[in-house]
Copies of this chain bind each other. A is one copy, B any other.
Amino acid sequence: MRVAVVGLGKAGLPLAAVIADSGIEVFGVDLDSRKCKMINSGKNPIPEEFGLDELIAKHGGKRLKATSDYRDAADCVAYIVIVPLILDELKNPDFRVLESAFREVGKILKKGDIVVLETTVPPGTTENLVKKWLEEESGLKLGEFYLAYSPERIMTGYSISRLREFPKVIGGVDESSGKKAYELYLKFIPNLHLVSNARTAEFIKVIEGCYRDVNIALANELFKIANELGVDFYEARDKANHEYCHIHLPSTGVGGHCIPVYPWFLIKEMEKREKFGYVKLLKVAREINDEMLNYWAEKIVLECLKVNKPLNKVRICIKGITFRKGVKELYHSRNLALARLLIEKGLDVRVYDEMFTPEEVEELGLKWGDPEEADVVFDCFELKIFTKSG
């Protein structure tokens, strides 16, 4: 039995490795041929992923073959697609990468094959768009092939253990697709749950992200109120939380490819249907999180006023620009946006991040700076402002 995994990114590669480790021969398809070469020579391109080094060393180029050519995967019986879905400038989903991947799969699709999408998508995507793309390219009709959805639930750094321990859901666009895909996934996912249909599985993944986004917005809002009232938010949170109360941590906002993206799937779909009243909370949560930069910018400027220098001469260091500590990823990073916002205001801003070299920082169009040499340092992960005394 041969399985193809299309997309060998942070979600796809750990999955491909886990499938290979279960004894199944895997063809990993990724357009990045350098990455394919690395994998085939047993080297792990995502070193921060705990446990992945061993799996790639063991299976890379052997049971897990990486390729940039879909035709190499032509005699697989199952195609798992896990490529990025981003938002366009108007916050609508940009399906181009997804469409292109499925049209390629469609070209090599054979009767009886199973196709499973893992990328987080707006509910309805698999049964509407994916089905159409596959049918158009393959000339087959659903029923001649099987189509299902199973959302990745990984977290960079913990993906292997997530795949092996965390509950995973799967749903088909029809009953036999659900059953077939469930049977396939059981071979490598131990904690697997079949749900009513693909749309339900899609919805499950999106609402998890919405829960996080809304609760981070709540934490940010309560953090601002606590400061206004002169209460230590962290002490209050620590004592407020218990079995039934899960107040999250405040932040500079929410970045990355996941949480700030998923609420828009529901917001845009409901707006299309003129159900504006159904997404009020999701929308305001997005606003609160995205506007946290203004809150921090004001705090930083107020701190700069304490330095005995003209405001535009105060050297500010923004420490930490990735969207999350320890993950070298800048997509929708609010920390990076905060640095740019302060620069736009005409302030002297330097940037420091332990994951970036000074050269890499300059390539982003920013000035690198040592926190030790700044007058005011804002630590984006600790949410703390340090001012040089004197």
A195 interfacial contact with B, CB 8 Å: yes
Contact A217 B281 (CB under 8 A): yes
Contact A207 B222 (CB under 8 A): yes
Chain B residue with minimal CB distance to A294? B277
Residues facing B in A199-248 (CB within 8 A) are: 199-200, 203-205, 207-208, 210-212, 214-215, 217-218, 221-222, 224-226, 228-232, 235-237, 239-240, 242, 244-247
**B residues in contact with A193, CB < 8 Å:** 239
Chain B residue numbers with a CB within 8 Å of A210 are: 218, 222
Q: Name the contact of A245 in the complex, choosing from B196, B208, B287 (C-beta under 8 A).
A: B208
Indicate if the CB atoms of B279 and A288 lie closer than 8 Å: no
Give a binary string over A352-375; 1 marks a CB under 8 Å from any B CB, 0 the rest: 000000000000000000000000
Rounded to whole angstroms, the CA-CA distance of A76 and B166 in the bound complex is 56
Query: A193-B239, A242-B167 are contacts. A203–B231 as well, Cβ < 8 Å?
Result: yes
Q: Is the CB of A228 within 8 A of B278?
A: yes
Q: Mark A174-204, 1 if CB is under 8 A from B, else 0.
A: 0000000000000000000101100110011
Count identical subunits in the complex.
2
Check A231 against B200 for contact (C-beta < 8 Å): yes
- In the bound complex, CA of A14 to CA of B22 (Å): 57
Nearest CB of B to A31, in Å? 32
Give chain A interface residues in 268-304, CB to chain B under 8 Å.
269-270, 273, 275, 277-282, 284-285, 287-288, 291
Are A228 and B273 in contact, with the CB atoms below 8 A?
yes
Tell me, yes or no, whether A55 is within 8 Å of chain B by CB.
no
* Residue A157 is within 8 A (CB to CB) of chain B in the complex: no
A124 adjacent to chain B (CB < 8 Å): yes
Q: How far is the CB of A123 from chain B (nearest CB, A)?
A: 5
Q: Is A266 an interface residue (CB 8 A)?
A: yes
Partner of A236, one of B124, B207, B240: B207
Tell me the bound Cα distance from A203 to B225 in angstroms. 10
Per CB-CB distance, the 10 closest pairs between chain A and chain B, nearest first, are A203-B231, A224-B278, A204-B240, A284-B284, A221-B281, A204-B236, A203-B236, A208-B240, A204-B239, A169-B239
23 contacts between A and B (CB under 8 A): A167-B239, A169-B239, A193-B239, A195-B236, A199-B231, A200-B231, A204-B236, A204-B239, A204-B240, A207-B236, A207-B237, A208-B240, A211-B240, A211-B245, A214-B218, A221-B279, A224-B275, A225-B278, A228-B273, A228-B275, A229-B269, A280-B284, A280-B287
**A-to-B contact residues, CB < 8 Å:** 123-124, 166-167, 169, 193, 195-196, 199-200, 203-205, 207-208, 210-212, 214-215, 217-218, 221-222, 224-226, 228-232, 235-237, 239-240, 242, 244-247, 266, 269-270, 273, 275, 277-282, 284-285, 287-288, 291
